[in-house]
Structure 1
Amino acid sequence: MDYRSVSLLLFFLGLALTSPVENSKASLMYPYGIDQGDTKNSKSDDGTSPEITIPVPFTFYGKKYYSLYVNNNGVVSFGVNVSQYTPDPFPLDGGTPFVAPYWADVNNVIGGDVLWRQTQDQAMLSRCTADINLNFPEIPFTATWTLIATWDHVAYFGSVSNKVNTFQAVLITNGELSFIMLNYDEIQWTTGTASGGKSKTGLGGTPAQAGFDSGDKINYYNIPGSRTPDILKIAETTNVRRPGQWMFQVDEYVVGVTTEESDCLE
């Protein structure tokens, strides 16, 4: 075999070895877009969706919620919308319960879209059920409702670069048991300029916060790296053995120990 043949063989072997890794991250994202029936939030800095009434209650640490908001700055909130753009550390003082796939100063006026849909489509619920059963095999569960919120190629406030982020929050419930799935496709910036970041890089200042906060100062979770420069690498991290994906059961009320601490003890 000559040198050229060996080089070609190594090239194609390289493709075979790397392609599954590259494709696996993209496959974590649930389907989204207008063609999937999504609604787009308005192009508005620090904007939000209208109040979204849901037909199946989402139980979040002992409380049932029947409506929520998808906020442009990387937050799904219950009860009230969230326009704050510089993230605070969890647990929060304000008591607003919310899920933060990537709480930072998004500006979809500059670039990108914030999309969402709630669905009881059987094919999508089957995928949700399979994902929960895979990662929580000890819990009998069949999904009856899901919300898929996606921040697609969104820019940061003050950006003069082409850097964008794509990430997703998926809320899943059967009316009693509730789960959160956070999916990360591509993360290129951490901070808007109003939070101290640099306009050309989207880095510095107060970086993004990821995780969730129940509003009771007891049950919350900070994804490692939150509000530090390491949050830029969130798409390489996981708690379910799939880099770029984090999953949590969030219906149970835990007394006397934070969710963050209990996760560390497992």
Structure 2
Amino acid sequence: MLMQVNNNGVISFLAAVSQFNSYSFPVADGRPIITPFWADVDTRKGGTLSYREVLRFAQDDGIFLAADDIIRASFVDMKFFLSSWMFIATWDSVAFYGASNQSAARNSFQAVMMTDGRYSFAIFNYRDINWAAGGSSSPAQVGFNAGDGVNYYSVPGSRTAAVVDIETTSNIGVSGRWVFRTDNSNIKGLASTTSGV
């Protein structure tokens, strides 16, 4: 399946998402999307967007071990989870559209998608979230949308000014980290247990 990392804080499947103004979920346009922070990001004012696909080999095992530990601690029925593929997208120190200069407020956030071939998960990491919207756009949408108008999950505070506090919230008891199981249509966003990972 074609995957696109969009500048606006969206990872989309099947087609790019050019809309800078986030929509409320559910969005029934046929495009599944993962939205770590769908907002009016403008990297022309500084900051970077980077992404990479990683397969599990001995030289990359450290990042897999750390991510696997997060999944095992978050979902008690996944105590033997061992990922084999990972995709990491990072928006680092990005400004918003309409920012006046290089010293404008910046956001840093990341999405990590991973699978063992059977079970799939997404981890959203947040650091230094200083703006919720850019220009005249709506505050950011955070979550998932299957594109079918039925299956979606919107993180509490999405599309409100409160989304700027996402770096202090969590669904697993670790500030700035949200973890979701994404391999079926019923996206699970609540952890079965919490841990200090």
TM-score range, shorter-chain basis? 0.7 to 0.9
Pick the structure with more strand per residue. 2
Residues 29 and 148, structure 2, Cα contact 8 Å, conserved in 1: no
Once residues 70 and 93 of structure 2 are traced to their aligned partners in structure 1, the CA distance between those partners, rounded to angstroms, is 25
Report how far residue 106 of structure 1 moved: 0.5
Once residues 15 and 3 of structure 2 are traced to their aligned partners in structure 1, the CA distance between those partners, rounded to angstroms, is 7
Once residues 219 and 126 of structure 1 are traced to their aligned partners in structure 2, the CA distance between those partners, rounded to angstroms, is 30
- Check if 1:189 corresponds to 2:121: no
Report how far residue 144 of structure 1 moved: 0.3
1:16-27 equivalence runs, <5 A: none
Residues 2 and 15, structure 2, Cα contact 8 Å, conserved in 1: no
Equivalent in the alignment of 1:156: 96
Once residues 114 and 67 of structure 1 are traced to their aligned partners in structure 2, the CA distance between those partners, rounded to angstroms, is 19
Once residues 118 and 147 of structure 2 are traced to their aligned partners in structure 1, the CA distance between those partners, rounded to angstroms, is 19
1:129 partner SS: helix
Once residues 86 and 93 of structure 1 are traced to their aligned partners in structure 2, the CA distance between those partners, rounded to angstroms, is 16
Pick the structure with more helix per residue. 1
1:117-132 equivalence runs, <5 A: 117-120=52-55, 121-132=60-71
Once residues 172 and 155 of structure 2 are traced to their aligned partners in structure 1, the CA distance between those partners, rounded to angstroms, is 13
1:128 partner SS: helix
Give ranges in structure 2 of 5+ residues lacking alignment.
191-197
Letter in 2 for 1:125: F
Once residues 172 and 85 of structure 1 are traced to their aligned partners in structure 2, the CA distance between those partners, rounded to angstroms, is 26
Once residues 37 and 82 of structure 2 are traced to their aligned partners in structure 1, the CA distance between those partners, rounded to angstroms, is 27
Residue of structure 2 aligned with 1:238, choices 170, 173, 177? 170
**What count of residue pairs does the alignment treat as equivalent?**
183
Deviates more, 1:129-138 or 1:146-155: 129-138
1:155 partner SS: strand
Residues 86 and 113, structure 2, Cα contact 8 Å, conserved in 1: yes
Once residues 70 and 185 of structure 2 are traced to their aligned partners in structure 1, the CA distance between those partners, rounded to angstroms, is 23
Once residues 78 and 192 of structure 1 are traced to their aligned partners in structure 2, the CA distance between those partners, rounded to angstroms, is 24
Larger Rg belongs to: 1
Deviates more, 1:127-136 or 1:243-252: 127-136
- RMSD of aligned alpha carbons: 1.6
Residue of structure 2 aligned with 1:222, choices 139, 154, 157? 154
Report how far residue 137 of structure 1 moved: 2.3
Report how far residue 80 of structure 1 moved: 0.9
Residues 140 and 158, structure 2, Cα contact 8 Å, conserved in 1: yes
Once residues 179 and 155 of structure 2 are traced to their aligned partners in structure 1, the CA distance between those partners, rounded to angstroms, is 11
- Check if 1:99 corresponds to 2:37: no
- Superposed CA offset, 1:163-209 (max 9, x none): 010000000111221001000001111111142xxxxxxxxxx1111
Report how far residue 95 of structure 1 moved: 2.1
1:65-84 equivalence runs, <5 A: 66-84=1-19
1:1-266 equivalence runs, <5 A: 66-120=1-55, 121-139=60-78, 140-160=80-100, 162-195=104-137, 206-254=138-186, 259=187
Report how far residue 69 of structure 1 moved: 1.0
Letter in 2 for 1:216: D
- Could you tell me the TM-score, scaled by structure 2's length? 0.88
Higher relative contact order (CA closer than 8 Å, sequence separation 6+): 2
Report how far residue 101 of structure 1 moved: 0.5
- Superposed CA offset, 1:6-48 (max 9, x none): xxxxxxxxxxxxxxxxxxxxxxxxxxxxxxxxxxxxxxxxxxx
Residues 170 and 178, structure 2, Cα contact 8 Å, conserved in 1: yes
